[in-house]
Amino acid sequence: MPQHNAQQVQSRMEEARLHVDSNRARREQKPGILVNLLRLAIVVTGIVVTILMFTQIVIRYVFGFSIYGLEELMSFFAIWLYFMGAAHGSWDRGHISASLVDVITKPGRVQQSIRVLACLLTVIISTWMAVWAAQYLINSYKRKLMSLEVGISMVWVNSAMFIGLALMSLYFLIELLEEWKVLRGRV
């Protein structure tokens, strides 16, 4: 009996490794222009946030004063950084998963069905959040909301949330379709 359990565990681990390998192979494909634009946005906003933070620290602690609005501006670039990074993580499938499905269930139809269900729920929730972000963006446009310190339009800031969540929904949908194809192949 223990040998049978060891074989089951080995089989489950092999199935999980194959799933990870298929995701790794997908990531190694040449990224499209959209992914390259995401990467560019992440690098640029990361550099801008770093420069602004360094500037604020040096001016505050070396010269003893602060530049009005610099922290607000830095937070706006950080919002873009976070949401573009989240979208890239969705494309890369590098997001954190606490799934025990591969360990608890046997490889096969049940396991793949649970993966498809998890992907479907992820698509529904991320799309729901993208709709909220779109409504928030439209509201900030209609009300002509401006930032308090710098005085720039909040549409620029709030569009990061919508774009990031919309891209996340798209990449989660692609993942759902790929998992669905695997399920159909096993039925």
Q: How far is CA 180 from the centre of its chain?
A: 21
Q: What are phi and psi of 146, to 5 degrees?
A: -125, 150
Domain locations in the chain?
A: 2-186
Question: What type of residue is 66?
Answer: S
Q: Measure Cα distances from 34 to 39, 40, 70, 91 in Å.
A: 9, 10, 30, 10
Per-residue model confidence as pLDDT tens for the chain (187 residues): 455 566 665 665 565 555 555 555 555 667 789 999 999 999 999 999 999 999 999 999 999 988 999 999 999 999 999 999 999 999 988 776 667 777 777 788 888 888 899 999 999 999 999 999 999 999 999 999 999 999 999 999 999 999 999 999 999 999 999 999 988 884 4
CA distance 166 to 164: 6
From the CA atom positions of the chain, what is the Rg in Å? 22
